[in-house]
Amino acid sequence: MTNEAAPLNFIEHIIEEDLSKDYKREQLCFRFPPEPNGYLHIGHASSICLNFGLGERYNAPVNLRFDDTNPAKEEQEFVDAIKKDISWLGYEWATECYASDYFQQLYDWAVQMVKDGKAYVDSQTSEAIAEQKGTPNTPGKPSPFRNRSVEENLDLLEKMKNGETKEGEHVLRAKINMESPNMLMRDPVMYRTINKHHHRTGTDWKIFPMYDWTHGESDYIEQVSHSFCTLEFLPHRELYDWFLDQVYDSNKLRPKQREFARRNLSHTVVSKRKLAQLVSNGVVTGWDDPRMPTISGLRRRGYTPDSIKNFADSIGVGKRENLIDVSHLEFNVREDLNKKAPRIMVVLDPVKLVIDNYPEGKTEMFEAENNQEDESAGSREVPFSKELFIEREDFLESANSKFFRLTLGKEVRLKNAYIIKGESVVKDADGNITEIHCTYDPDSRSGSGSEASLRKVKGTLHWVSAEHALPVEVRLYDRLFTEASPDTNKERDFMEFINPDSLKVITGYAEPSVKNAKPEDNFQFQRLGYFVVDRDTTTERIVFNRTVPLRDSWAKIAE
User: Of the candidates 192, 61, 181, 173, which has an alpha carbon nearest to the alpha carbon of residue 122?
Assistant: 173
**Pairing mode, if any, of strands 387-391 and 433-440?**
unpaired
272 is known as an active-site residue? yes
Q: 370's torsion region: left (phi>0), alpha (psi -120 to 50) or beta? A: alpha
Q: Which of 262, 263, 291, 445 is catalytic?
A: 262
**Pairing mode, if any, of strands 350-355 and 433-440?**
parallel
User: Of the candidates 304, 296, 314, 463, which has an alpha carbon nearest to the alpha carbon of residue 387?
Assistant: 463
Cβ 93 vs Cβ 51: under 8 Å: no
Dihedral sign for Cα atoms in the order 303, 304, 309, 314:
negative
259 SS3 class: strand
**Pairing mode, if any, of strands 96-98 and 62-66?**
parallel
Distance CA 206, CA 163 (A): 5
- Return the number of other C-beta atoms located less than 10 Å from residue 471's C-beta: 10
Distance CA 430, CA 432 (A): 6
Distance CA 283, CA 64 (A): 31
Q: What is the 3-class SS of 297-337, one letter each residue?
A: HHHHHCCCHHHHHHHHHHHCCCCCCEEECHHHHHHHHHHHH
The DSSP annotation for 510-545 comes to E-GGGTT--TT-EEEETTTEEEEE-TT--SS--EEE
**Pairing mode, if any, of strands 470-477 and 30-32?**
unpaired
Element (H, E) at 503: strand 503-510
Task: Give the chain's end-to-end CA distance (angstroms, integer).
Answer: 40
Q: Which of 173, 263, 272, 300 is catalytic?
A: 272
**Pairing mode, if any, of strands 522-525 and 503-510?**
unpaired
171-201 burial by CB neighbour count: b if 16+ within 10 A, else e? bbbbbbebebeeebbbbbbbbbbbeeebbbe
Q: Which of 12, 35, 369, 483 is catalytic?
A: 35
Using only C-alpha atoms, the chain has a radius of gyration, in whole angstroms, of: 31
Distance CA 10, CA 5 (A): 15
Distance CA 219, CA 222 (A): 5
Secondary structure E strands in 216-362: 226-230, 256-260, 263-265, 322-324, 343-344, 346-347, 350-355
The catalytic site residues sit at 35, 262, 272
